[in-house]
Every structure is written in C-alpha cells, then in structure tokens.
Amino acid sequence: MSSRLETAYYDLGRLDLLAEKDSPIHRLDPRAKVAATLVFIIYVVSFSRYEIARLLPFFLFPALMIGIADLPFGYLLRKLILVSPFVIFIGVFNPFLDREIMFQVGTFEVSGGWLSFISILLRFILTVGAALLLIATTGFPAICMALEKLGLPEILTVQLLMLYRYLFVLIEESIRIMRAYTLRSFSGKKPRYQVFKQLLGNLLLRTIDRAQRIHMAMLSRAFTGEIKTARQFSFGTPEIFYLAGCITLFTFIRFVNISALIGKLLLEAG
C-alpha cells in the first residue's frame, strides 16, 4: 500500500513538473488559457444529450494543445481512465431508462439511451481533458491567480490553492504512516479494521499539525493572502491572438455542422 501511495504522490506532482516546461503555450498568460478553457467547456456542454457527431471536431483543440506544448499523451490518457469509472457509472443506466429507438442500422436498433451514454463519455473526455491540459500547461497556483484576476473572490481562490497543497501534505503523511506500519508489521498484510481506524485518526492529527506549521511558516514569510508565482506574466499580443483564435475556432465548430459537411463531401466524391 505504501508503494501505491508513493506512486500516486509522484504521479500527482508530475502535472506541476509539466507546467514548468517552456513552450509557446506555457509562456502564455494564465488568464488567456483559463478563459479559453472555460469557453471550450461551455460550448461542449451546450449540445443536446443525443449529440455525438458534432462533438468530435472539438477534439482538434486538445490535439493541438498536446502537440504544441509537447505533453505526454499516454500520461494524460491514464489520468482520464483513472476517473472514468465515475462517469461510466452515471451514464451506464441510460440505455435501460431511455429505450426510444432513434435510428436503425440494418437489423441493429440504436436507442436514445445509448446515444446519451456515448455523448456523456465524449463530454467527459473533452471537458476533463481540457482541465488536465490547463493544469499541465499552467500549474495550479497560476490558475488560481488567473481566476482571482478574472474576478473570482480572493478567499475562494486561496482556499482552492490551499486545498490543492493540502492534498500533498495528506499523501506525504499517509506514506510515512504506512511505511512505519510496514516496518513494524512482519505479516505483510493490510492493516485490520481496528488498526486502520487508529492509523486514520493518527493521520488526521498529524496532517492538522503539519498544516498548522506550514501556516505559521507562511505567516512568518509575510503571506497576506495574495497568490504570487515565480514566473511573471503579462497579457499582451500573443494572448490576444490565442484567445481570439480559440474563441473563433470553438464558435465555428459549435455553430457549423462540420461532420455533416465532411459526410456530404465524401458522398459527392464517391
């Protein structure tokens, strides 16, 4: 269990390491990337529940982001697969609840439930994938700073940042506790329920104490609640072109049925 926690810890911190890379996307002001991602998510979720084909062109945006920012596709895909069971559990009952036949391919009938289920999966991949790309190209502290400058209340952005940092504290203390338990246990088995409760209570106390020490260290370094990042950003011409280009692309994909146009061209060519 300790090794799995360590793997999760380093895997979670890899997003921050990816955000330190130097690419045209990484160098953009976080406000431009946050605004573009929000517009992308709004357009993706604005389609009807049965829409599938018109969602496919939106995959162009994450593909371009991964290519330009030189991000590891396999790592991001594993992140998506890790949280996909929650979405599958939400939509898996749709085929049983919505049995209205929408169309028929030969003898195979496709119900509205299957269409909505696939649509939910596509929206999940696009929206969560866009959020992962935003973190991997910006970093969570810079995202919180951008949200604050875009008008989100300061107390909320600071709480988001502290919550993110507290996850690392929680995992670090969990690793220490499980390593100590493993060294003192000769059976190699998972802790029993009674022992697990004691470990969980010890974890809570240790993380609270660690968080208080971190808070005192922040105050001693004149932390006033303002989010600051090591890299300085400015909203200039590249950010304007990036944001305008993204909004234009998303608007075109949203209101022009590209899939139907491609299908029509293929039929005419055939």
pLDDT tens-place string over residues 27-85: 999 999 999 999 999 999 998 888 888 999 999 999 999 999 999 998 888 888 887 88
- What pLDDT band is residue 189 in, cutting at 50, 70 and 90? low
- Other C-beta atoms closer than 10 Å to the C-beta of 129 total 21
The encoded tokens of residue 61 equal 């945006």
Tell me phi and psi for residue 157, to 5 degrees: -65, -40
pLDDT one-digit tens code per residue, 77-92 = 888 888 788 888 888 8
Beta bridge partners of 105: 108
CA–CA gap between residue 35 and residue 19 (Å, rounded)? 17
Looking at residue 115, its pLDDT comes to 83
Instruction: Give the pTM.
Output: 0.81
pLDDT one-digit tens code per residue, 195-227 = 777 778 887 888 788 778 877 887 887 777 666
Q: What is the mean pLDDT of the chain?
A: 82
Handedness of CA 123, 258, 28, 227 (dihedral sign): negative
Q: Which residue has the tokens 């991997």?
A: 136
CA–CA gap between residue 131 and residue 133 (Å, rounded)? 5
pLDDT one-digit tens code per residue, 146-163 = 888 888 888 888 888 888
The encoded tokens of residue 134 equal 């935003």
Residues 6+ away with beta carbon under 8 Å from 176:
206
Instruction: Considering only CA atoms, give the Rg of the chain.
Output: 23
Q: Which residue has the tokens 């649509």?
A: 119
The encoded tokens of residue 218 equal 């922040």
- What pLDDT band is residue 100 in, cutting at 50, 70 and 90? confident
Contact 130, 41 (CB under 8 A): yes
Looking at residue 270, its pLDDT comes to 60
The encoded tokens of residue 94 equal 């749709």
**Longest CA–CA separation in the chain, Å:** 73
**What does the domain layout of the chain look like in residue ranges?**
18-151+230-259, 153-228
